[in-house]
Amino acid sequence: MATGGNTVESKLPAELPLDFLKKITNDFSDERLLGTGAFGSVYKGILEDGGVIAVKRLGENSPVPSEKIFANEVQNMMVLKNENIVKMVGFCRETHKKLVTIGNRHINANITETVLCYEYFQKGSLDKHIFDESTTVDWEVRFKIIKGISKGLQFLHNLPRPLRHLGLKPQNILLDDNMAPKIADFGFSRIFDQGQTRMKTGSVVGTVGYMAPEYMYHGEISNRSDIYSLGLIILEITTREKNSSSTDQKHAREYIQGVTENWNLEQIMVKYPELDADGISQVENCIRIGLQCVDIDQESRPTINEIVNMLNS
């Protein structure tokens, strides 16, 4: 379980004052910075009782919907519970005045701060664990991670009002102390007005390599965009090889081509010499599923329920 885990969520009110969040993050100081993504930065927030939460401060004046809709959507997300998704434990949205300089004029502008708080996972994100050559993450753990991510996505896609992630990538998958995966950042497609922002923001770099081509080039949004991203993640976890550039679709296609050509039975046996026949067929199965998920033709991609069934077969 995450450091702080359940105790944190039960003690905090849903809506948290900005002053409180500043206090627990040392005024959003650099030494508390866990990482920065396209929408803002994540800080380690230390509570008075020693519990820890992750505090995601979105960019000033982020294009979130009106206060009422925002609070409503966030509260809907806070009740979501699944062992493979990161729990949202609180939020803040406050507007204050700030002196800004435009040219040689000083203006007192309204600045809206939006902050989302989550369970904290000290192991951090998946990308830090699956590629390192010296990694001790063996196949059994990798396979469990693949299954866990798939189950988390199955939960999101099967909600009465399905939630599409639209930004799945290894940086958005956190690992708990037992190496169980937790999908983070799943609410953004709803908080940010139908997910448009992920595509339109200028700072989308880092996500592009995992985006389905129909989403990236035509703005088409469906569950199948998430399946494409999941496919790349499955391939990366299985092959231990990075989707060479995560900033360019062309590189993603080259990567997929490489896996298609190279990852035959012989390669699997060379890369996983310790595995028995069952293990080898699990690896083969994952490569097959991953490649089906990244099919250019979205109709040919399996659904998440099919993927979970195939992984269990």
Ligand X SMILES: Nc1ncnc2c1ncn2[C@@H]1O[C@H](COP(=O)(O)OP(=O)(O)OP(=O)(O)O)[C@@H](O)[C@H]1O
Interface with ligand X by CB under 6 A: which residues? 34-40, 42, 54, 56, 86, 118-121, 124-125, 167, 171-172, 174, 184-185, 206-207
Structure tokens, 171: 């940086």
- Closer residue to ligand X, CB minimum distance, 229 or 239: 229
Smallest distance from the beta carbon of 108 to ligand X, in angstroms?
A: 29
The pairing of strands 105-119 and 88-102 is antiparallel
Nearest residue to the partner ligand X, using Cβ: 37
Residues 164 and 221: their CA atoms lie apart, in Å, by 8
Smallest distance from the beta carbon of 170 to ligand X, in angstroms?
A: 9
Distances in Å between the alpha carbon of 212 and those of 64, 102, 168, 219, 260? 24, 39, 11, 10, 18
- Closer residue to ligand X, CB minimum distance, 36 or 135: 36
**Which residue matches tokens 């951090």?**
124
E-assigned strand segments in 181-271: 181-183
- Closer residue to ligand X, CB minimum distance, 201 or 298: 201
Smallest distance from the beta carbon of 53 to ligand X, in angstroms?
A: 8
Smallest distance from the beta carbon of 60 to ligand X, in angstroms?
A: 15
- Closer residue to ligand X, CB minimum distance, 42 or 259: 42
- Interior CA angle at 58 toward 53 and 63, to 5°? 140
User: Letter for the amino acid at 216?
Assistant: M
- Closer residue to ligand X, CB minimum distance, 187 or 302: 187
Residues 130 and 141: their CA atoms lie apart, in Å, by 10
Smallest distance from the beta carbon of 198 to ligand X, in angstroms?
A: 8
Instruction: List all residues 6 or more positions away from 110 whose beta carbon is below 8 Å from its beta carbon.
Output: 95, 96, 97
- Closer residue to ligand X, CB minimum distance, 90 or 302: 90
Residue 169 backbone dihedrals phi, psi, to 5 degrees: -170, 165
Instruction: List all residues 6 or more positions away from 142 whose beta carbon is below 8 Å from its beta carbon.
Output: 130, 237, 238
- Interior CA angle at 310 toward 235 and 124, to 5°? 45
Query: Is 250 assigned to a binding site?
Result: no
Smallest distance from the beta carbon of 205 to ligand X, in angstroms?
A: 9
- Closer residue to ligand X, CB minimum distance, 40 or 279: 40
Helices (H) and strands (E) in the chain, counts: 13, 7
Smallest distance from the beta carbon of 252 to ligand X, in angstroms?
A: 16
**Which residue matches tokens 């900005």?**
18
Taking the mean position of all CA atoms in its chain, how far away is CA 264?
A: 29
Q: Which residues are annotated as a binding site for ATP?
A: 56
Q: Which residues are annotated as a binding site?
A: 56
